[in-house]
Amino acid sequence: MVAVEGTVRLRPEGTANPDLATGQVELADCTVEVLNAAEAPPFPVDDRTDIDEAVRLRHRFVDLRRPRMQANLRRRSAVLAAMRAAMVRQGFVEIETPLLWTPTPEGAREFAVPSRLHHGDFYVLPQSPQIAKQLLMVAGFDRYFQIARCLRDEDLRADRQFEFAQLDLELSFGSAGDVQEAVTEAVVDATEAATGERPGTVEHLTWHEAMDRFGTDKPDLRFAMELVDMSDIFAGSGVKALQAPCVKAIAVPGGAALGRSRLDALVDRAKGIGAKGLAWFKVTAAAGGGSGLDSPLDKFLGDEERSALSTRTGAEPGDLVLVVADGWRTACTVLGALRLELGRMPVGEGERRFCWVTDFPMFDGVDDAGYPVAAHHPFTMPHPEDLALLGSDPAAVRSQAYDLVLNGWELGSGSVRIHREDVQRRVFDALGISPDDAELRFGFLLAAFRYGAPPHAGFAVGIDRLVAILCGEENIREVIAFPKTQSGTDPMTGAPKPIAPGALHDLGIRVVPRD
RNA sequence: GGUCCUGUGGUGCAGUCUGGAGUGCACGCCGGCCUGUCAAGCCGGAGGUCGCGGGUUCAAAUCCCGUCAGGACCGCCA
């Protein structure tokens, strides 16, 4: 660490270097003062090499000097500033909510914080400020926002850390559309602030449409390869493998070049996701013009089926058509996964295609006791037209929940909330939460609602994911100053670590060895 | 809980499949030279528990088993 003093002057003719930021000038008549001696850094402080993750994190203070990390964190700062400005401009009030919250055993596993003053009792760190912000609606803050830290004790991934940041917001007397407008403004502003480019139109898809066309609830709209329905074509088919309620296909450009082992791997992958099988057809150029098919199943196909496989999907010679026959949900999911596997683009490539996915199902699957599981959270308002189905056909109930998606990443989710006690009771009932149970878990929220709860709706944007995409990073660790490893440790500090026996004693906690 | 990939001087790699002396490359570090260079150049040098433990073998970085660490994914993430 040195301080250099001198005179800045233009470099002599012929020695300027346009590749350097300071390439036009030089320092003359320097004095150099050593402020602090330093050891050689543990790895090169540049962007040219990929350093082992554990080494980077152990010396994060050095790692963060690299130009890439400097740019990422500064870009993150610009995103936060733009979001905050957009929210304030739209009349939202920034309010902080507690980090020491109360257990709400529902959804993600919570981090527990032992209470020193009340032995045996625990606070938890909030997995989101969900309930607190609903209480703020009751309290009359009709437009709330917060750049909130959320904590979930679930396994880590490239796009998931224990703690993450959300632009959390809620508004009263507004529709889902109002929420989406407010969020869109914030993320579009943030994108422009971070990249200098303002994204184009933000599209809206229903959940059903997203599944039907892209086989996922978080479609990457940067590339086509859309799912095509072939159910009618194969309805009375003689091909046993393709007899199912739903037959879907995708065309893979240039996919005819894939070798047998790669195709077999795709079949295995399809089966791994839950398909009974995967049919593939290489589209070939026919002798007299037109096209033919190369596939083990070709000889079983009728003429109509054969031609539909290429005309419907738009496949040209040299392309590959993949077909899954199954239930609608499975056929879509499997082809959606294969579409990604074969077409996925690096996160930093192409344009930024935001889209809203709306009308999610209210429930997703059933729990051990056979009750439906809330797809979003239990305070989500069902679609008004589907209210009657709550008791009879829960799987068919759509909710007023919506996700924001960018290039195949789920950026966040939100919903219109239930503000009427009778509706909340019916939803709890459908979920198998008894009135006593509900009182125990969410009593304070239900009580608040009795004092006049406005209709309200909200959203939360995953800031780490948004910033990662805007930085062209595949991993959110690259946009977080001090992240954890995949096993939840911090190689720099050594956390988590044992605490002193005295501290344990104060907390009334005894550690038992793992089995 | 599971699947897969990776682990070799400070850093990034090759060597592992097909066992034969810690062999090699680039960067960095130390010393010297050079001094209009800017990823400087030239000469010399130091630096290794091949993640760890066990097994097979005359012989293991290399094969086998276990384990630890990092990563990607499945489960999980209302």
Strand B atom within 7 Å of A311 CB: no
Taking C1' of B26 and every protein CA, the nearest residue is A49
Residue type, A419: H
DSSP conformation class of A460 = E
Residue type, A100: L
Rounded distance in angstroms from the CA atom of residue A515 to the C1' atom of nucleotide B55: 28
Q: What is the pLDDT of residue A360?
A: 94
Strand B atom within 7 Å of A264 CB: no
CA gap A454, A136 in Å, rounded: 10
Q: What is the pLDDT of residue A515?
A: 60
CA gap A76, A430 in Å, rounded: 42
User: Looking at strand B, which nucleotides approach a protein CB closer than 7 A?
Assistant: 1, 10-13, 27-30, 36-39, 69-78
Strand B atom within 7 Å of A89 CB: no
Strand B atom within 7 Å of A6 CB: no
CA gap A481, A57 in Å, rounded: 10
Instruction: Return per-residue pLDDT of chain A as tens, 515 residues.
Output: 888 888 999 998 888 888 888 888 988 888 888 888 888 999 999 998 899 999 999 999 999 999 999 999 999 999 999 999 999 999 999 999 999 999 987 789 999 999 999 999 999 999 999 999 999 999 999 999 999 999 999 999 999 999 999 999 999 999 999 999 999 999 999 999 999 999 999 999 999 999 999 999 999 999 999 999 999 989 877 788 888 899 999 999 999 988 887 888 888 888 888 888 899 999 998 877 778 889 989 889 888 888 899 899 999 999 999 999 999 999 999 999 999 988 888 888 889 999 999 999 999 888 878 888 888 888 999 999 999 998 889 889 999 999 999 999 999 999 999 998 889 989 999 888 899 988 888 888 889 999 999 999 999 999 999 999 999 999 999 999 999 999 999 999 999 999 999 999 999 999 887 76
Long-range CB pairs of A269-273, under 8 A, 24+ apart, other chains included: A269/A337, A269/A338, A269/A341, A270/A324, A270/A334, A270/A337, A270/A338, A273/A333, A273/A334, A273/A337
Q: Which is nearest to A111 in space by CA: A158, A157, A150, A146?
A: A150
The token pair at A237 is 């088919």
Residue type, A406: L
Q: What is the pLDDT of residue A442?
A: 85
Strand B atom within 7 Å of A102 CB: no
The token pair at A348 is 């930093």
Separation of CA A20 from chain center: 38
- The 3-state DSSP composition of chain A as helix, strand, coil percent (nearest 5) reads 35, 25, 45
The three-class DSSP label of residue A114 is: strand
Residue type, A425: R
Q: Which is nearest to A124 in space by CA: A135, A116, A113, A115?
A: A113
Strand B atom within 7 Å of A431 CB: no
Q: What is the pLDDT of residue A405?
A: 96
Nucleic strand B contact set for A 53-82 (CB, < 7 Å): 53-55
Angle at A351 between CA A349 and CA A357, to 5 degrees: 115
Alpha helices in A323-413 (DSSP H): 328-343, 389-392
Nucleic strand B contact set for A 456-485 (CB, < 7 Å): 475, 477, 485
Q: What is the pLDDT of residue A161?
A: 98
Nucleic strand B contact set for A 353-392 (CB, < 7 Å): 364, 373-378
Q: Which is nearest to A456 in space by CA: A181, A172, A93?
A: A172
Nucleic strand B contact set for A 188-247 (CB, < 7 Å): none
The token pair at A172 is 């009263």
CA gap A156, A205 in Å, rounded: 29
CA gap A67, A73 in Å, rounded: 10
Identify the helix (H) or strand (E) that includes residue A283. Answer: strand A279-285
Identify the helix (H) or strand (E) that includes residue A423. Answer: helix A421-431
Q: How large is the ipTM?
A: 0.92
Rounded distance in angstroms from the CA atom of residue A52 to the C1' atom of nucleotide B58: 38
Strand B atom within 7 Å of A154 CB: yes
Strand B atom within 7 Å of A185 CB: no
